[in-house]
Structures are given as C-alpha cells and as structure tokens.
Chains A and B, each alone.
Chain A
Amino acid sequence: MFADGLFIGFAVLAVLGAVGLVLFRHPMNGAMSFVVTLISLAGLYALLSAKLIFALQLIVYAGAIMSLIVFIIMFLNIQPGDLPQEETKLFYVLGGGIVVLPIGLFLAKIVKSLPEHSTEILGNNFGGVKEVGLLLFRDWLIPFEIVSILLLVSLVGAVILAGKRGTTK
C-alpha cells in the first residue's frame, strides 16, 4: 500500500537522522542530520492526518528552532580544535545502548499489549486549523495562556543572560 511505503521511508530516514545526530563529531553535521529527522517526522504527522501539526513542525521546528541552533553554531565559529576529544565515544554509545535497551524493550512490551488500530487518513477535517483552534481556545485556554507566559519569561531570561555587554563582570 502507498501509505505503508511512505511510512517505511519516513521511518528509516528519521532513524538514520537520529543515528547521525548521535554519531557525527561536528555539531553542524549533527544539526543537518537532525533536520532530516524533523522533516521526516513532519511527513509522519501528515500520514497521521494531523494537518496543522504537520505545518507547525515544518515552520516552527525545522524552520525556526533549527535555524536558531544552526545560527548559534555558526556564530561561535567552532574550529575542530574546540570540539571535545571523545575517544571513548563508541564505548559510551554501546554502554548507553545496553543501559537503554531494557527500557526500550519494556516500552515495546507495553505497546504490544495495546489493541492494534488502523491509521487510515481521516477525512472530515480532522486536525485542520479550525478544529484544533476551536479546541485550543475552548478547552485548553488556561494552558495556552500559561505557555505564552512561559515563552515571555524565557525571552526575557535569554535577553538578560546573553545580552550583558555594558555591565561589569
């Protein structure tokens, strides 16, 4: 089926991008492979008929947040000598894999016990802007306002932290 093929392609791309993020030495290479993961996740959201979240994932995540990270990486002008020496990286990756494997198997067992459900693409405007917006401003109004305050506070904090130029140290 076409949707299954798309799912397999996006899933393989997402996992490869995540593996690249963990293994690449330079953070710029890691950021680029993480962008691949984010874009394939956006494709998966579209397959799950979440239209608004698909657009937001592309605009906010792959667009705004990742361009901020890439901008900071380029702003710091990282030379290969500035990077931490990680000779024991593969050892730690293997050790971390051994530590994480039981957790993953446990979660997989939980997922296996759930009843299977098809994920055909839904019609009737499921996940459209209007429906999600109505839900957001009716049932989730207080959390929405709290998140807006959180964004304001983090903005002020970032300006205070990074913008100390004239003050004494």
Chain B
Amino acid sequence: MMHCYLYLSIILFCLGIIGVIARRNVFTVFMSVELMLNAANLAFITFSRVHESMDGHVLAMMVMAVAAAEAALALAVVILLHKHKSKLDTNVFSLLKG
C-alpha cells in the first residue's frame, strides 16, 4: 500500500511540473507550484508512517509554513504587476529582460 501513496505523489508532482511548463496564467502557475509542494508533503507523510517516526509530520508543517509565506509574497507581487500592466500573462512580465 505504501507504493500506491508514493506513485500518487509522483503523479501529482508531474502534473504540477506540467502546469508550470504549459500554462501562462500567473495564478495557475502559482497553484501548480503549490501542487508540487503538496505532492512532496504526501511523500513525507507516507515515509513518516512507514518508519513510524513523526519527523515527517514536523517537516510537512514546515512545508506548509513556507507555502503560506510564499503565497503572501507571490500574491503581493501579482497585485503589483497587475497594477502596472493590467495583464495576467507570464510572457508580459519581462521586466528583468534587460
């Protein structure tokens, strides 16, 4: 049964990568990154159950805190960019292109 959980984690992580590669909407890209974080969390919790130690739970909590910090910052940046360009396309946001 442990293998099934890890396969599901791999599938979700790959879907997250595909979302980051294929989509150009800022929100969808951002939520795909969150999906990858969640897939990593699932692997942490599975291994934590397998080894019957709770360090994986603590690490999953850390990942959640990092995701919350990332959400706050990324959404602030999205609001700023939308204010400047009034677009949500990642191809438009090329301020660092030089």
Q: Are A22 and B8 in contact (CB under 8 A)?
A: no
Most buried by A among B23, B76, B88: B23
- The answer for the CA separation of A117 and B8 in the assembled complex, in Å, is 16
Q: In the bound complex, do residue A38 and residue B23 qualify as a contact, i.e. CB atoms below 8 Å apart? A: no
A22/B61 contact (C-beta < 8 A), A68-B71, A84-B91, A116-B2 known: no
Per DSSP, chain A at the interface is helix
- The SS class assigned to the B binding surface is helix
List the A side residues contacting B78 at CB < 8 Å. 72, 76
Asked if A56 contacts B27 (CB within 8 A), the reply is: no
B89: chain A residues within 8 A (beta carbon): 84
Given A82-B87, A131-B54, A162-B79, do A154 and B24 touch, yes or no (CB 8 Å)? no
Cross-chain contact B55 with A135 (CB below 8 angstroms): yes
Write out, one digit per residue, whether chain A residues 66-82 have a CB within 8 A of any chain B CB (1) or not (0): 00110011011010001
Chain B proximity of A124: nearest CB distance (Å): 10
Q: Which of B3, B15, B75 contacts A15 (CB 8 A)?
A: B15
Which among A56, A75, A117 has the greatest number of chain B C-beta atoms within 10 A?
A: A117
* B46 cross-chain contacts in A, Cβ below 8 A: 48, 119
Q: Which residues of A contact B28 (CB under 8 A)?
A: 21-22, 24, 27, 30
Chain A's interface size range is 35 or more
User: In the complex, which of the residues A27, A64, A82, A153 has the most CB atoms of chain B within 10 Å of its own CB atom?
Assistant: A27
A48 and chain B: residue at smallest CB distance: B49
- Residue ID in chain B nearest A169 by CB atoms: B84
CA distance A116 to B70 in the complex (A): 35
Contact A154 B69 (CB under 8 A): yes
Assembled-state Cα–Cα distance A117/B51 (Å):
9
In the complex, A15→B22 CA distance in Å?
Answer: 17
Name the one of B4, B8, B18, B65 contacting A14, with C-beta atoms under 8 angstroms.
B8
Distance in angstroms between the alpha carbons of A118 and B4 in the assembled complex: 11
B25 touches A27 (CB 8 A): yes
Q: Enumerate chain B residues within 8 angstroms of A45, measured Cβ to Cβ.
A: 42, 45
| CB contact list, B5-44 vs A, under 8 A | 5-8, 10-19, 21-25, 27-28, 30-32, 34-35, 38, 41-42
User: From residue B72, how far is it (CB to closest CB) to chain A in Å?
Assistant: 4
- B12→A15 contact, CB < 8 A: yes
Q: Which residue of A41, A72, A150, A155 contacts B42 across the interface (Cβ within 8 Å)? A: A41
